[in-house]
Amino acid sequence: MNYFELFNFTASFDLDTATLAERYRELQRAVHPDNFANDTEQQKLLSIHRAAQINDGFQTLKNPIRRAEHMLSLRNIDISHETKTLKDGQFLMQQMEWREALEDINHAEDPDEMIDELYRSFSNYENEMTKRLIALLNSEQENDWLLAADQVRKLKFMAKLKDELAKIEDAQFG
Amino acid sequence: MAYSEKVIEHYENPKNVGSFEKDDPSVVTGMVGAPACGDVMKLQLKIDDAGVIEDAKFKTYGCGSAIASSSLVTEWVKGKTIEEAAAIKNTDIAEELALPPVKIHCSILAEDAIKAALDEYKSKSDE
């Protein structure tokens, strides 16, 4: 299933999420069960199936990591279910340092400032990675797509870091 | 999801947590990460001249199963030759800790950490 086609987008990473949300609502309205109240059971089932597809497509395209994964899967590179290990030492060392920094927040003199600083560092790093990802996805070379897959894997670590930071921030103000 | 007793034991009382001196020439480091869950694992092995693993330390950011898997392998590799350590399979780790299918990637991570450390050992000895 090509979710870009479903939502009438060209298969590109740059996607206007406001337009996506708009088209999602239109599509959902079209398959609403009320429209099929007088139809056969089979048609009703079909509309339920369609609604589930629309939902899944929306969740996939909305999230940048899942969107990139979907783009790659359309090019026969499936990384969403893999258990492969990442071995980029330099990248992982940086991840380790950031995880250590997260642990230090609670003992920091000014935890708020440290949280802000880490958010900035994570965002800068993530933006650079995303730029590289877009360039690789736009390439015609299959080899670049494999490199794009690696960028997506790394972006998952950044998402994890941001999750952890958000949890710590909640606990600070909780 | 319920953790097995062995996982809880290692999680609550992990063995060999920490790092060796960075500049120790007999120490090699394996760094690995699991994109699926964002877990990061560092495994360090102290290997003597005869190719026997004298000591091991780890630092892992991840779930209980990832911590238990790394704690377990640091215990297992001690006293082993590099060949014996290289033969440790993720299935052995998963079986010992009774990991459920969704946590198998934690044992893969631990196996790959040993491999990454031994790769560094090989490239060091080739120099």
For residue A83, tell me if it sits in a domain.
no
Q: Residues A106, A167: one domain?
A: yes
* Residue A154, phi then psi, degrees to nearest 5: -70, -35
For residue A70, tell me if it sits in a domain.
no
Span A51-62, average pLDDT: 97
* Residue A35, phi then psi, degrees to nearest 5: -70, -15
Residues of chain B positioned with their CB less than 8 A from the CB of A160: 37-38
Domain with A153 in it: 89-173
Residues of chain B positioned with their CB less than 8 A from the CB of A95: 33, 40, 61
Between B18 and A81, whose confidence is greater? B18
Told to judge if B106 belongs to the known catalytic residues of this protein, a careful annotator would answer yes
Q: Residues A144, A99: one domain?
A: yes
A70-127 pLDDT, tens digit per residue, is: 999 999 999 988 888 999 999 999 999 999 999 999 899 999 999 999 999 999 999 9
For residue A13, tell me if it sits in a domain.
yes
Q: Residues A35, A102: one domain?
A: no
Q: What is the CATH number of the domain that holds A50?
A: 1.10.287.110
Give the Å distances, CA to CA, from B122 to A100, A151, B83: 29, 28, 11
How confident is the model at residue B103, as a pLDDT? 92
Span A6-18, average pLDDT: 95
- Do A83 and B61 make contact, defined as CB atoms within 8 angstroms? no
For residue A147, tell me if it sits in a domain.
yes
Q: What is the CATH number of the domain that holds A163?
A: 1.20.1280
* Domain count for chain A: 2
For residue A69, tell me if it sits in a domain.
no
SS3 A7: coil
Q: Residues A42, A93: one domain?
A: no
Smallest CA–CA distance from A162 into chain B, residue: B38
Smallest CA–CA distance from B106 into chain A, residue: A83
For residue A80, tell me if it sits in a domain.
no
* Separation CA B71–CA B15 (nearest Å): 5
For residue A77, tell me if it sits in a domain.
no
B40-54 pLDDT, tens digit per residue, is: 999 999 999 999 999
Instruction: Name the CA radius of gyration of chain A, rounded.
Output: 20
Q: Residues A94, A148: one domain?
A: yes
For residue A79, tell me if it sits in a domain.
no
Q: pLDDT confidence of B124, banded at 50, 70, 90? A: confident
**Catalytic-role residue among B17, B31, B37, B52:** B37
Q: Across chain B, which distance is largest between two alpha carbons, in Å?
A: 47
Residues 6+ apart with CB under 8 A from A41: none
- Do B105 and A83 make contact, defined as CB atoms within 8 angstroms? yes
Q: Which of A62, A78, A99 is the last residue of a domain?
A: A62
Q: Residues A58, A93: one domain?
A: no
Query: How high is the mean pLDDT of chain A?
Result: 93
* Separation CA A98–CA A101 (nearest Å): 5
Q: Which of A62, A80, A98 is the last residue of a domain?
A: A62
3-state secondary structure string, B33-85?
EECCCCEEEEEEEEECCCCEEEEEEEEEECCHHHHHHHHHHHHHHCCCEHHHH
Whether B75 shows a pLDDT value over 70: the answer reads: yes
Residues 6+ apart with CB under 8 A from A132: A151
How confident is the model at residue A174, as a pLDDT? 65
**Catalytic-role residue among B106, B108, B117, B118:** B106
Which of B42, B108, B116 is nearest residue A83 as measured by Cβ atoms? B108
* Interface check B61 vs A, CB under 8 A: yes
Q: Residues A37, A107: one domain?
A: no
Write out the E strands in chain A. none
Q: Which residues in A have their CB inside 8 Å of a CB on B?
A: 79, 82-87, 89, 91-93, 95-96, 99, 152-154, 156-157, 159-161, 163
Q: Residues A23, A98: one domain?
A: no
Q: What is the ipTM, given to two decimal places?
A: 0.88
